[in-house]
Amino acid sequence: MAIDYGTKRTGIAVTDPLRIIASGLTTVPTQELFTFLESYLKNEEVDIIVLGEPFHMNGDPAQLYDKIHQYGTFLSRKFPQVKIDFWDERLSSEKAKEIILQSGARKKKRQDKSLVDQVSASVILLEYLEHQEKRALR
């Protein structure tokens, strides 16, 4: 599972058991994120949650960096059976917008911020999975 944490909305993506496909699951108001995760983890098998780690293009941590790391610590305490990891989310929103545009979505759909957040979470998860696969092949 990947989380694209935002101040208002949070995009969530999941993968199949073989970790081949990353797909957007939903977008939830950030204030409801823990409740959503609590319910989801009761019903679904999740062994890792990847939180998008915000950086500026120059590599400096972005404004939400500390808050996201605090949230990761909180999640690791609440769900000790789930590994918490982080992945650089730079450009994930831009990649998400490009993916939505290439999908042929109409203008109204392309402007849907909830969809962008979901697809951004998918981008984070896909990049993380690809990196893990490359590491395993070394």
CATH of domain 2-137: 3.30.420.140
- pTM, two decimals, is 0.88
| Cα(35)–Cα(104) distance, integer angstroms | 34
Q: What pLDDT, in 10s, does the model give residues 55-69?
A: 999 999 999 999 999
Q: What pLDDT, in 10s, does the model give residues 83-121?
A: 999 999 887 777 777 777 777 766 666 566 777 888 899
pLDDT at 119: 85
**Spatial contact of 15 and 21, defined as CB atoms under 8 Å apart:** yes
**Spatial contact of 116 and 27, defined as CB atoms under 8 Å apart:** no
The rounded percent of the chain whose pLDDT value lies above 90 is 62
